Structure 1
Amino acid sequence: MLDRPVHRLWQLAPLVLLLTACSGDPGTGPVEVKWDRDVCTRCNMVLSDRQHAAQVRYTRQDGRRSEVTKFDDFGCAVLWLDQQPWKDEPGVEFWVTDYRDGHWIDARSARYVTGRHTPMQYGLGAQVDASADSMGFADARQHVYRIEQQYNVHGGNLDHRVVPTPSN
Protein backbone atom coordinates (compact mmCIF):
# COMPACT_ATOMS: atom_id res chain seq x y z
CA MET A 1 0.00 0.00 0.00
CA LEU A 2 1.29 3.45 -0.94
CA ASP A 3 2.23 5.87 1.76
CA ARG A 4 -0.49 8.53 1.97
CA PRO A 5 1.64 11.64 1.07
CA VAL A 6 3.16 9.86 -1.94
CA HIS A 7 -0.30 8.75 -3.07
CA ARG A 8 -1.49 12.38 -2.98
CA LEU A 9 1.45 13.45 -5.11
CA TRP A 10 0.41 10.98 -7.79
CA GLN A 11 -3.11 12.37 -7.67
CA LEU A 12 -1.75 15.89 -8.30
CA ALA A 13 0.44 14.85 -11.25
CA PRO A 14 -2.30 15.24 -13.91
CA LEU A 15 -3.11 18.72 -12.59
CA VAL A 16 0.54 19.75 -12.72
CA LEU A 17 0.83 18.49 -16.29
CA LEU A 18 -2.31 20.35 -17.31
CA LEU A 19 -1.12 23.61 -15.79
CA THR A 20 2.31 23.22 -17.37
CA ALA A 21 0.75 22.67 -20.79
CA CYS A 22 -1.40 25.76 -20.41
CA SER A 23 1.46 28.06 -19.49
CA GLY A 24 4.35 29.33 -21.57
CA ASP A 25 4.54 30.10 -25.25
CA PRO A 26 1.13 30.41 -26.93
CA GLY A 27 2.60 29.27 -30.26
CA THR A 28 1.70 32.44 -32.13
CA GLY A 29 2.67 36.09 -32.09
CA PRO A 30 5.86 37.78 -30.95
CA VAL A 31 7.57 36.77 -27.72
CA GLU A 32 9.07 38.93 -25.01
CA VAL A 33 12.52 40.25 -25.85
CA LYS A 34 15.17 40.39 -23.15
CA TRP A 35 16.50 43.78 -24.21
CA ASP A 36 20.25 44.21 -23.98
CA ARG A 37 20.63 40.41 -23.57
CA ASP A 38 19.02 38.69 -26.58
CA VAL A 39 21.11 38.70 -29.75
CA CYS A 40 20.22 39.04 -33.42
CA THR A 41 20.03 35.68 -35.19
CA ARG A 42 21.80 37.06 -38.26
CA CYS A 43 24.47 39.50 -37.07
CA ASN A 44 24.83 38.51 -33.38
CA MET A 45 24.43 42.07 -32.14
CA VAL A 46 22.55 42.60 -28.89
CA LEU A 47 18.92 43.73 -29.28
CA SER A 48 18.80 47.17 -27.68
CA ASP A 49 16.77 49.34 -30.06
CA ARG A 50 13.13 48.88 -29.11
CA GLN A 51 11.87 50.82 -32.16
CA HIS A 52 13.47 48.72 -34.92
CA ALA A 53 13.53 45.08 -33.77
CA ALA A 54 11.96 42.15 -35.60
CA GLN A 55 10.94 38.55 -34.93
CA VAL A 56 10.15 35.59 -37.15
CA ARG A 57 8.06 32.69 -35.84
CA TYR A 58 8.02 29.43 -37.76
CA THR A 59 7.19 25.78 -37.14
CA ARG A 60 10.21 23.62 -36.49
CA GLN A 61 10.95 20.71 -38.79
CA ASP A 62 9.68 18.26 -36.19
CA GLY A 63 6.33 20.05 -36.50
CA ARG A 64 5.68 19.92 -32.78
CA ARG A 65 6.10 23.54 -31.77
CA SER A 66 7.10 26.88 -33.17
CA GLU A 67 10.47 28.56 -32.96
CA VAL A 68 11.03 32.32 -32.67
CA THR A 69 14.11 34.10 -33.98
CA LYS A 70 14.93 37.69 -33.02
CA PHE A 71 16.62 40.44 -34.99
CA ASP A 72 18.02 43.87 -34.17
CA ASP A 73 16.94 45.36 -37.52
CA PHE A 74 14.17 44.70 -40.05
CA GLY A 75 16.88 44.30 -42.71
CA CYS A 76 18.57 41.44 -40.84
CA ALA A 77 15.23 39.64 -40.58
CA VAL A 78 14.47 40.08 -44.30
CA LEU A 79 17.87 38.79 -45.41
CA TRP A 80 17.80 35.86 -42.97
CA LEU A 81 14.23 34.84 -43.80
CA ASP A 82 14.86 34.90 -47.55
CA GLN A 83 17.52 32.20 -47.05
CA GLN A 84 15.11 29.79 -45.37
CA PRO A 85 13.46 27.09 -47.55
CA TRP A 86 10.18 27.44 -45.61
CA LYS A 87 10.01 31.26 -45.90
CA ASP A 88 6.72 31.22 -47.84
CA GLU A 89 4.93 28.67 -45.64
CA PRO A 90 1.53 29.97 -44.47
CA GLY A 91 2.38 29.54 -40.78
CA VAL A 92 5.45 31.80 -40.87
CA GLU A 93 4.84 34.98 -38.86
CA PHE A 94 6.97 38.09 -39.27
CA TRP A 95 6.76 40.84 -36.64
CA VAL A 96 8.40 44.27 -36.36
CA THR A 97 8.18 47.01 -33.78
CA ASP A 98 6.39 50.24 -34.65
CA TYR A 99 9.17 52.83 -34.60
CA ARG A 100 6.92 55.34 -32.85
CA ASP A 101 5.84 53.35 -29.82
CA GLY A 102 7.68 50.00 -29.88
CA HIS A 103 4.52 47.86 -30.16
CA TRP A 104 4.74 44.69 -32.24
CA ILE A 105 2.95 44.77 -35.60
CA ASP A 106 2.66 42.34 -38.51
CA ALA A 107 5.64 43.05 -40.79
CA ARG A 108 3.82 42.06 -43.98
CA SER A 109 0.98 44.52 -43.43
CA ALA A 110 3.10 47.30 -41.91
CA ARG A 111 4.07 50.45 -43.79
CA TYR A 112 7.72 51.53 -43.85
CA VAL A 113 9.39 54.93 -43.89
CA THR A 114 13.00 55.65 -44.77
CA GLY A 115 15.44 57.96 -43.08
CA ARG A 116 15.49 56.18 -39.74
CA HIS A 117 18.70 55.50 -37.82
CA THR A 118 18.53 51.72 -37.34
CA PRO A 119 21.01 49.29 -35.75
CA MET A 120 22.33 47.88 -39.05
CA GLN A 121 21.66 51.04 -41.08
CA TYR A 122 18.96 49.64 -43.35
CA GLY A 123 17.13 52.83 -42.40
CA LEU A 124 13.52 51.61 -42.29
CA GLY A 125 10.98 52.28 -39.58
CA ALA A 126 7.72 50.32 -39.48
CA GLN A 127 4.33 51.81 -38.69
CA VAL A 128 0.74 50.61 -38.75
CA ASP A 129 -0.81 53.34 -40.86
CA ALA A 130 0.02 54.49 -44.37
CA SER A 131 1.45 57.93 -44.98
CA ALA A 132 2.42 59.83 -48.10
CA ASP A 133 6.05 58.78 -47.78
CA SER A 134 5.53 55.16 -46.66
CA MET A 135 6.01 51.96 -48.64
CA GLY A 136 4.61 48.44 -48.37
CA PHE A 137 6.41 45.25 -47.42
CA ALA A 138 7.55 44.30 -50.95
CA ASP A 139 9.10 47.73 -51.54
CA ALA A 140 10.70 47.71 -48.08
CA ARG A 141 12.22 44.32 -48.84
CA GLN A 142 13.67 45.66 -52.10
CA HIS A 143 15.03 48.67 -50.19
CA VAL A 144 16.91 46.30 -47.85
CA TYR A 145 18.49 44.53 -50.84
CA ARG A 146 19.50 47.86 -52.42
CA ILE A 147 21.18 48.95 -49.19
CA GLU A 148 22.88 45.57 -48.80
CA GLN A 149 24.14 45.68 -52.40
CA GLN A 150 25.26 49.31 -52.24
CA TYR A 151 26.94 49.34 -48.85
CA ASN A 152 27.15 45.70 -47.81
CA VAL A 153 26.73 46.84 -44.25
CA HIS A 154 27.97 43.54 -42.86
CA GLY A 155 31.55 44.26 -43.95
CA GLY A 156 31.97 42.20 -47.11
CA ASN A 157 32.89 45.38 -48.95
CA LEU A 158 35.96 45.77 -46.74
CA ASP A 159 37.81 42.73 -48.09
CA HIS A 160 40.04 44.97 -50.19
CA ARG A 161 41.31 46.61 -46.98
CA VAL A 162 42.73 43.40 -45.60
CA VAL A 163 46.48 43.62 -45.93
CA PRO A 164 48.01 40.28 -46.81
CA THR A 165 50.75 39.16 -44.47
CA PRO A 166 54.08 38.28 -46.05
CA SER A 167 54.64 34.55 -46.26
CA ASN A 168 57.87 33.11 -44.94
Structure 2
Amino acid sequence: MAYSLMAVYKDCVAARDAAQEAAGNDETINIDLSPLRELARRFNLSFGLDMAKQREALAALHRECIRFALTPLFRHDDSSQPGPNLLFLEVLPEFASKLLKPDKKAIYDHVDKLVHNATIEGDAWQPLINYRRILNDEPGGGHGPKTRASTATRGRKRAAPQDDDNSRL
Protein backbone atom coordinates (compact mmCIF):
# COMPACT_ATOMS: atom_id res chain seq x y z
CA MET A 1 0.00 0.00 0.00
CA ALA A 2 2.71 2.44 0.99
CA TYR A 3 4.56 1.94 -2.28
CA SER A 4 1.39 2.50 -4.29
CA LEU A 5 0.76 5.74 -2.40
CA MET A 6 4.34 6.84 -3.00
CA ALA A 7 4.08 6.07 -6.72
CA VAL A 8 0.89 8.13 -7.05
CA TYR A 9 2.53 10.98 -5.11
CA LYS A 10 5.51 10.90 -7.48
CA ASP A 11 3.08 11.02 -10.42
CA CYS A 12 1.37 14.07 -8.88
CA VAL A 13 4.74 15.79 -8.44
CA ALA A 14 5.75 14.93 -12.02
CA ALA A 15 2.46 16.35 -13.33
CA ARG A 16 3.03 19.53 -11.33
CA ASP A 17 6.60 19.81 -12.61
CA ALA A 18 5.43 19.39 -16.22
CA ALA A 19 2.74 22.04 -15.73
CA GLN A 20 5.30 24.34 -14.08
CA GLU A 21 7.69 23.90 -16.98
CA ALA A 22 4.94 24.60 -19.51
CA ALA A 23 3.82 27.70 -17.62
CA GLY A 24 7.35 29.00 -17.23
CA ASN A 25 8.88 30.47 -14.12
CA ASP A 26 6.36 33.30 -13.88
CA GLU A 27 3.75 31.46 -11.82
CA THR A 28 3.85 28.76 -9.17
CA ILE A 29 1.74 25.66 -9.79
CA ASN A 30 0.49 23.75 -6.74
CA ILE A 31 0.51 19.97 -6.57
CA ASP A 32 -2.90 18.37 -7.16
CA LEU A 33 -3.05 15.62 -4.54
CA SER A 34 -6.63 14.56 -5.29
CA PRO A 35 -5.58 11.23 -6.93
CA LEU A 36 -3.43 10.47 -3.88
CA ARG A 37 -6.22 11.33 -1.44
CA GLU A 38 -8.69 9.18 -3.39
CA LEU A 39 -6.34 6.19 -3.33
CA ALA A 40 -5.74 6.69 0.40
CA ARG A 41 -9.48 6.83 1.02
CA ARG A 42 -9.97 3.55 -0.86
CA PHE A 43 -7.10 1.87 0.97
CA ASN A 44 -8.51 3.09 4.29
CA LEU A 45 -11.85 1.45 3.51
CA SER A 46 -10.07 -1.84 2.88
CA PHE A 47 -8.86 -1.94 6.50
CA GLY A 48 -12.38 -2.50 7.77
CA LEU A 49 -13.70 -1.71 11.22
CA ASP A 50 -11.73 -4.11 13.44
CA MET A 51 -8.76 -1.94 14.36
CA ALA A 52 -7.12 -4.59 16.53
CA LYS A 53 -6.73 -6.96 13.56
CA GLN A 54 -5.15 -4.27 11.39
CA ARG A 55 -2.98 -2.74 14.11
CA GLU A 56 0.41 -3.91 12.84
CA ALA A 57 -0.37 -3.20 9.19
CA LEU A 58 -1.53 0.35 9.98
CA ALA A 59 1.53 1.09 12.11
CA ALA A 60 3.84 -0.26 9.40
CA LEU A 61 2.06 1.84 6.77
CA HIS A 62 2.53 4.98 8.86
CA ARG A 63 6.21 4.26 9.53
CA GLU A 64 6.99 3.59 5.87
CA CYS A 65 5.14 6.70 4.70
CA ILE A 66 6.80 8.84 7.38
CA ARG A 67 10.23 7.61 6.32
CA PHE A 68 9.45 8.55 2.71
CA ALA A 69 8.04 11.97 3.64
CA LEU A 70 10.90 12.94 5.95
CA THR A 71 13.82 11.71 3.83
CA PRO A 72 15.53 14.08 3.41
CA LEU A 73 14.15 16.25 6.19
CA PHE A 74 15.59 19.46 4.73
CA ARG A 75 16.20 20.71 1.20
CA HIS A 76 19.84 20.51 0.18
CA ASP A 77 19.95 24.12 -1.02
CA ASP A 78 18.09 25.65 1.97
CA SER A 79 18.23 23.97 5.37
CA SER A 80 15.32 26.06 6.68
CA GLN A 81 12.93 24.52 4.11
CA PRO A 82 11.49 21.01 4.31
CA GLY A 83 12.51 18.19 2.01
CA PRO A 84 10.71 17.55 -1.26
CA ASN A 85 8.37 14.84 0.04
CA LEU A 86 6.97 16.51 3.16
CA LEU A 87 3.67 17.23 1.42
CA PHE A 88 3.15 13.45 1.30
CA LEU A 89 2.22 13.62 5.00
CA GLU A 90 -1.11 15.18 4.01
CA VAL A 91 -2.40 11.73 3.09
CA LEU A 92 -1.61 10.03 6.43
CA PRO A 93 -4.42 11.60 8.49
CA GLU A 94 -6.76 9.46 6.37
CA PHE A 95 -5.37 6.43 8.21
CA ALA A 96 -4.79 8.01 11.64
CA SER A 97 -8.42 7.62 12.71
CA LYS A 98 -8.00 3.84 12.69
CA LEU A 99 -4.92 3.85 14.93
CA LEU A 100 -5.26 2.84 18.56
CA LYS A 101 -4.08 5.37 21.16
CA PRO A 102 -0.87 3.48 22.06
CA ASP A 103 0.01 3.25 18.37
CA LYS A 104 -0.62 6.97 17.87
CA LYS A 105 1.74 7.66 20.76
CA ALA A 106 4.41 5.33 19.37
CA ILE A 107 4.18 6.88 15.90
CA TYR A 108 4.24 10.40 17.39
CA ASP A 109 7.43 9.47 19.29
CA HIS A 110 8.89 7.98 16.08
CA VAL A 111 8.24 11.25 14.22
CA ASP A 112 9.79 13.24 17.07
CA LYS A 113 12.87 11.03 16.94
CA LEU A 114 13.25 11.60 13.19
CA VAL A 115 12.67 15.34 13.43
CA HIS A 116 14.78 15.60 16.61
CA ASN A 117 15.69 19.23 17.35
CA ALA A 118 14.90 20.68 13.93
CA THR A 119 13.36 24.13 13.76
CA ILE A 120 9.93 23.60 12.28
CA GLU A 121 8.16 26.85 11.55
CA GLY A 122 6.32 28.41 8.67
CA ASP A 123 3.74 27.36 6.13
CA ALA A 124 6.06 24.93 4.37
CA TRP A 125 6.13 22.73 7.49
CA GLN A 126 2.33 22.71 7.93
CA PRO A 127 1.82 19.08 6.78
CA LEU A 128 4.17 17.87 9.52
CA ILE A 129 2.65 20.18 12.14
CA ASN A 130 -0.88 19.01 11.29
CA TYR A 131 0.08 15.34 11.27
CA ARG A 132 1.75 15.59 14.68
CA ARG A 133 -1.30 17.42 16.02
CA ILE A 134 -3.59 14.63 14.80
CA LEU A 135 -1.37 11.94 16.32
CA ASN A 136 -1.34 13.84 19.60
CA ASP A 137 -5.15 14.23 19.53
CA GLU A 138 -4.84 17.99 19.89
CA PRO A 139 -7.73 20.30 18.98
CA GLY A 140 -7.42 21.63 15.46
CA GLY A 141 -5.95 18.37 14.27
CA GLY A 142 -9.22 16.77 13.40
CA HIS A 143 -9.59 14.67 16.54
CA GLY A 144 -10.42 17.30 19.15
CA PRO A 145 -12.87 16.80 21.96
CA LYS A 146 -16.50 16.53 21.00
CA THR A 147 -18.72 19.42 21.86
CA ARG A 148 -22.30 19.15 22.98
CA ALA A 149 -23.47 20.34 19.57
CA SER A 150 -21.59 17.57 17.78
CA THR A 151 -22.98 14.68 19.82
CA ALA A 152 -26.12 12.91 18.74
CA THR A 153 -29.33 13.57 20.64
CA ARG A 154 -31.55 10.78 21.86
CA GLY A 155 -35.17 10.48 20.95
CA ARG A 156 -37.29 12.43 18.54
CA LYS A 157 -37.23 16.17 18.37
CA ARG A 158 -40.49 17.82 19.19
CA ALA A 159 -42.19 19.75 16.46
CA ALA A 160 -42.69 23.44 17.07
CA PRO A 161 -46.33 24.29 17.82
CA GLN A 162 -48.14 25.55 14.76
CA ASP A 163 -50.79 28.22 14.59
CA ASP A 164 -54.24 26.65 13.95
CA ASP A 165 -55.07 29.14 11.21
CA ASN A 166 -51.90 28.34 9.20
CA SER A 167 -52.12 24.59 9.67
CA ARG A 168 -55.43 24.27 7.78
CA LEU A 169 -54.31 26.17 4.69
Greater strand fraction, Structure 1 or Structure 2: 1
TM-score (norm 2): 0.29
TM-score (norm 1): 0.29
